[in-house]
A and B are shown apart, each in its own frame.
Chain A
Amino acid sequence: MTTLAIPLPKRPAHPTGVLAWLTTIDHKKIGILYGVTAFVLFITGGLEALYMRFQLAQPGQDFVSPEVFNQLFTMHATTMIFLGVMPLGAAFFNFVIPLQIGARDVAFPRLNAFSYWTFLAGAILLKLSWFLGGAPNAGWFGYAPITGSDFNPGHGIDYWAVSLQVLGIASLAAAFNFIVTIVNMRAPGMSLMRMPLFTWMTLVTSFLLVLAFPVITVALIELMFDRFFGMNFFSIGAGANPLLWQHLFWIFGHPEVYILILPAMGIVSEIIPTFSRKPLFGYPVVVLSGVIIGFMGWMVWSHHMFTVGLGPVANSVFALTTMAIAVPTGVKIFNWIGTMWNGSIDLRTPMLFAIGFVFLFIIGGLSGVMHSSAASDAQQQDTYFIVAHIHYVLFGGSIMAIAAGAYYWFPKMTGRLMDERMGKLNFWLVFMGMNISFFPMHFLGLDGMPRRIHSYDSAMGWDLWNLVSSAGAVVLAAGILVTIINMVRSAKQGEKAGADPWDGRTLEWSIPSPPPEYNFEQIPTVHGKDAFWMQKRQRVSTVPVAGASGDSHDIHLPQPSYWPLIASIGLLIGAYGLVYSATWTGIIVGAVGLATTVVSVYAWSFEPVNEPVEGAAGH
């Protein structure tokens, strides 16, 4: 064990107010920051969707121009995926993982703060594009060559590419952090096969992230080099093949959709056992299937390219590998049902959302299997049938599970329960709204309505279902409004929760709500799966680890720091400069930003470490 030569400085008085949030390196606070920020951004993405639904409610409308419409769907999807679902997932990783594994913080607390601020920087940069000359307009997968400067002058695409790079840095940093945290900081006795499912899925997701993001980083670098320096990666005149972009994007993009769904599956795998009062059915198989899904996610990317002319052999191979993913996914679904079977099911709001998730995800997954049949996908690709699939898996899947998780962990975060009656209303509005909005899109797609069209002709016969779909979006918005109201009200005046409102099974429920800064007064020792449940029902006591202090006054936590924030601000400035790197001002601004980041990274690494005694090194 490394002993430190320098004596630990006294734990400083806590900064208060805003400063406390700006300099915090406490995983719980960072989790809440992630959650609130991402939720606000999710709403902006939802508003972008509402604009589109208003425009499409009736044929031939002029509510938004085609130019703006193209920006809307691009920003809507980019926002939802990178600024909504991913950081909402990160909010749970941050808040829950250290609590579930019995740790006092993540492995690199300052890196964690840096991840959050960098995510915020990327979000600001992307959203700024609306006000600084136009948002990106080439769809969320930005196919070459329409993203090239020939076809897309202006800065929209630059903002898109640069902000995705910044967001990539944030995601990578967070993913490395969680890999190390989960591998290295589990409480004594918590072997891999005793880890809660959510922790497991976070681990798999983190691995997907660190392996998938470098690929899109390279793709975006190529795009940026083309745009900024006139290189030829995607220049048709020089003989470039636009399919290169598609391959690179989807090699990232398909693992990305599992990055969006695996945490959701993890959340649901916590909630269903808790509210059924039964252990997760077939735990090892559920873990394994998650790992297999993560692994197989790498073998299917070309199913997004069935119509680009890869040839029948490649199409067949990718069709078969894609179908195969239904098997491990099905295993998960069946085990969830197996958990509920013969259980004692309490239909509280988290459980309602969890069941809603399973139900909707089955629909989305099955339409996915329909797409995977390459030959018939030729009729579906780039139609609203795909849009329906997207929203059944992403809204019905990820968002429903995130809502479940929010209701589930809200009491742990705030110490108060969310209102149950509003919760039920919330669920039914969202569930109905989502189906009314997205189910008709299947019909529209099969009826020949292409996606990404700003308007359509009445003669095409798409009027009815578009109107229904738009009406559904309004119901959905009402549902989400209820979420907002419920959260805000409950945070202030909700019923007091106590440590363990749901009769929980995992370690986070063994400590007070909200947890003290140091989480666990004594690091627990784990004797099996569902450690806390075991402790409650079988009276297995958790004994403190030898060496860990039993007195909360002796717990040394890493100190707050400015440097992560400043490093991220540097990145924001630098990235902003990069967008305008064709001008001198841009170059200067970029250099200033870069210098700020470099300086703060140096300062950061020489800041007194103040490691907690337990070995949770914050370096």
Chain B
Amino acid sequence: MAEQIQTETQSDSSVHTGHPTPLTYFKVAMTLSVITAIEVGIFYIEDLGLGIIPILVVLSTAKFAMVAMFYMHLRYDAKLFTGFFVGGLVLALSIGLSVLALFKFFA
């Protein structure tokens, strides 16, 4: 079991599936721009009310994920890196949300 853990990481790091090309990077950039444009666009639709929150959360999470996966090449890199980063990220997110809840922010 222990051995497995190690060899797994080892093999992960040496697998390089389909390296991205500048074209990929460009496509990602275009997608990011389009999403940003959508975000700013729907911002002016007042009728959305509170509904804008989930929409924007989803859209900006998508942007965040794309940058992390492609530009920071987490998608192609060792899982351990993703672990370190996502660990901090998820912890920050959950604690942040708990603090807001404790301040009755959602009430």
Contacts and interface: CB of A to CB of B under 8 A. Distances in A.
B99 A247 contact: yes
Contacts of B3: 191
A418 to B, nearest CB: 35
B62 interface: no
Given A183-B80, A191-B3, A192-B6, A298 B102 contact: no
A310 B102 contact: yes
A190 B95 CA distance: 34
A298 B87 CA distance: 13
A191 B5 contact: yes
A251 B99 CA distance: 10
Nearest to A251: B95
A617 B7 CA distance: 23
A182 to B, nearest CB: 13
A211 B2 contact: no
Contacts of B103: 241, 243-244
A314 B101 CA distance: 9
B88 interface: yes
Contact of B102 (A191, A194, A314): A314
State the majority secondary structure of interface residues on A.
helix
A244 B100 CA distance: 10
B91 A192 contact: no
A244 B102 CA distance: 10
Contacts of B87: 207, 211
Interface residues of A, number: 17
A193 interface: yes
A191 B91 contact: no
B91 A211 contact: yes
B1 interface: yes
Interface in A179-213: 183, 191-194, 207, 210-211
Given A183-B80, A310-B102, A314-B102, A298 B95 contact: yes
Interface in B56-107: 80, 87-88, 91, 95, 99, 102-103
Contact of B5 (A193, A210, A241, A314): A193
Contacts of A37: none
B2 A191 contact: yes
B12 to A, nearest CB: 14
B2 A194 contact: yes
A79 interface: no
Given A183-B80, A302-B102, A192 B2 contact: yes
A241 B104 CA distance: 13
A298 B3 CA distance: 29
A251 B91 CA distance: 11
A243 B99 CA distance: 10
Contacts of B5: 191-193
Nearest to B2: A193
Contacts of B88: 210-211
* Central interface residue in A183, A191, A243, A302, by most chain B CB within 10 Å: A191
Interface in B1-21: 1-3, 5-6
A302 B87 CA distance: 22
Contacts of B6: 191-192
Nearest to B104: A311
B97 to A, nearest CB: 13
* Central interface residue in B1, B2, B88, B91, by most chain A CB within 10 Å: B2
Contacts of A298: 91, 95
Nearest to A295: B91
Contacts of A193: 1-2, 5
A314 B2 CA distance: 39
A247 B87 CA distance: 21
Interface of A: 183, 191-194, 207, 210-211, 241, 243-244, 247, 251, 298, 302, 310, 314
29 contacts: A183-B80, A191-B2, A191-B3, A191-B5, A191-B6, A192-B2, A192-B5, A192-B6, A193-B1, A193-B2, A193-B5, A194-B2, A207-B87, A210-B88, A211-B87, A211-B88, A211-B91, A241-B103, A243-B103, A244-B103, A247-B99, A247-B102, A251-B95, A251-B99, A298-B91, A298-B95, A302-B102, A310-B102, A314-B102
Closest A-B pairs by Cβ, 8 of them: A193-B2, A191-B2, A191-B6, A191-B3, A247-B99, A192-B5, A192-B2, A314-B102
Given A183-B80, A191-B5, A302-B102, 10 more contacts: A192-B6, A193-B2, A193-B5, A194-B2, A207-B87, A211-B87, A243-B103, A244-B103, A251-B99, A298-B95
